[in-house]
Structures are given as C-alpha cells and as structure tokens.
Amino acid sequence: MKFTVLGSGAGIPSRTRNTQSYILDIVEEINQYFLIDAAEGVQHRILHTSVRPAKVRHVFITHLHGDHIYGLPGFLASRAHQGGEDIPLTVYGPPGLKEWVGLTLKISGSHLNYPIHYVEVSHNMRYEVEGFSVETYLLDHTVDSYMYVFNEPEKLGKLDTGKLKSIGIEPGPLYKEIKGSETFSHGGITYATSDFLGSPVPGRKISIHGDTRVMTSPGYLSLVDGSDLIVHEATYLEGEIEKAHIYFHSEIQNVLQNFSQIDYRKILFSHISNRYDDDDIRRIRETLGNHATIAHDYLEITIPRISL
C-alpha cells in the first residue's frame, strides 16, 4: 500500500504545488486505486505517475471548495478514453456534488461510456468499499468538510508448517487449500484451520482530512487513534494559531500538540499555503520528528503492514 500526493497546495496552484489531490495505491491488495479529492489538472498530474485511471473505481471528495473538485469533471471525461469504458465508478462526497458534476458534464457536452454512482456522505457514517471499511467524520470548516478513515481488513496469519508436518501433511498445493478453508480433514480426523495459523496481521488505517480547524472532541480523537498514516492540513506552518482558527484552517504545531494525546505511526501535513517557499519548508521540516513530514507534489509514502 502506498500514498501518493498529486497536489499539496492550498487555495490556488503555484509553480511548485498543485492543489489537493491524493492517490491511495492498493493495487497490490485489490488491484485498484482510490482517488481522494480532485484538484484542477488532476488528470494531467496522473500522467506523471504509473496510475491507470481505469483502475480508479472509487473517488472520495472531502468538500466542495474549488481547489478540491475543479479537476473532477476532467478526470471523469478522460477516464472514459483511458481504458475506463464499461468499468463502473463510485463517487463519494457531500450533498451537491452530484448536481454540480452532472450539470458540468451536460453543459460541456461530455459523455461517459461507463456507469457512475454517487454516494452522499454524512457525519459519523460507515461504508463498505471493496472490503475496506470507510468512515466519515464532519470536520470544522466554512462548508461541510469530511475526514475519510480507511480501515483495511486484517490478514490471516501464516500457516504453521511445522504443525502441519507433525500431523503428516507435507508442503504442497494442499497448504493453500487448507488456509482458504475453515476446517480440513486428514487421516480421518477433522481439524480447525485456525489452530494451524499464526496471529492475524492487523489491517492498516489511513485518516485523510479535508480542510478543518483543529478538532479536539473525544469522538474525533478516538476515531483517528491508531492510524498508520494521518493526512492533515497545515495551511499555516508558523505560529499563527489564532489566524488559522479565524479562517477555519490549522497550524502545524497546534495539530501536533492535539495529536500528542493519541497513538499513530506517521503524520503528513499538506494543503500548504503559497506564502511558504522552499527554504521555509526545509527549515520547518527540520523541527519535526521522524513521525511527521510536510508534503510535496509527487511524494510517495509506503504504508507497511505491522505484524503483532
């Protein structure tokens, strides 16, 4: 599993940052990509990666501000000519998204050659998506803005080959059959497969925020707790906590202080204001611990499974 930043800027694109779009690469797991937000030019951004639009089967929009959605109609239209024919797509987002996309495609004379389904998200809901559990949480912004929490299912533990050999089953194709079944028989005895498996490997948890002020409610922190990767906005990087609050955004140290109450493996700060140049970013990045980093366009982060 990998997380790729297609755009890491806030508000409007700059020479070095496009606005917010991400790819959750789960090709190794289920042969698909999830697209989270679709900033202007996202279809062009994808051309600079190995992502195949036809393998994007689900799009998740955090909120309806332009820097998060202006690229969606273009992506939908391009996908129709990039292997997406007859391959369904589901788009998740706040109320109004379906109407806006539909009107844009209609007025522009765009015709899709695949079915598209819209899911209107709401606060504190859970959705089953390709075996993943996806939870939504309403954030604190000028419009309804959501966090998506992607929970991967746990993976079966490894077969205890020594234990199988002890009952007379030697390595071979039967091992795969055993692991895929609840019980198996050998020598006239029926065994529970679970007795021959190691501890299950926990699924990964990725919490991706839309624009928001810092959230401190216990329910929110509990939901984010245990994330392998948190993606959070940091429009303000240096001490302007009050200003960030006024404009319904977040300041980086305030976020870190808030998350000191929970456990997580890594946090990625994105949605960076254009006021900060490369020297600013390098200087601020040096003040962060190993668990935190500031996003740049085309950054890739590998999210490993951690065995118990």
To the question of whether residue 68 is assigned a binding role by annotation, the answer is yes
Which residues belong to the active site?
Answer: 67
To the question of whether residue 140 is assigned a binding role by annotation, the answer is no
Angstrom distances, CA of residue 117 to CA of 64, 88, 177, 294: 18, 8, 36, 34
To the question of whether residue 144 is assigned a binding role by annotation, the answer is no
**Percent helix, strand, coil in the chain (nearest 5)?**
25, 30, 45
208-236: b or e for each residue (b if 16 or more CB lie within 10 Å)? Answer: bbbbbbbbeeeebeebbeebbbbbbbbbb
To the question of whether residue 141 is assigned a binding role by annotation, the answer is yes
Nearest-angstrom CA–CA distance, 260 and 253: 11
Per residue, the 3-state secondary structure of 34-63, as one string, reads EEECCCCCHHHHHCCCCCCHHHEEEEECCC
To the question of whether residue 63 is assigned a binding role by annotation, the answer is yes
Asked if residue 143 lies in contact with residue 64, where contact means CB atoms within 8 angstroms, the answer is yes
Asked if residue 38 lies in contact with residue 9, where contact means CB atoms within 8 angstroms, the answer is no
Known binding-site residues equal 63, 65, 67-68, 141, 211, 271
Known binding-site residues for Zn(2+) equal 63, 65, 67-68, 141, 211, 271
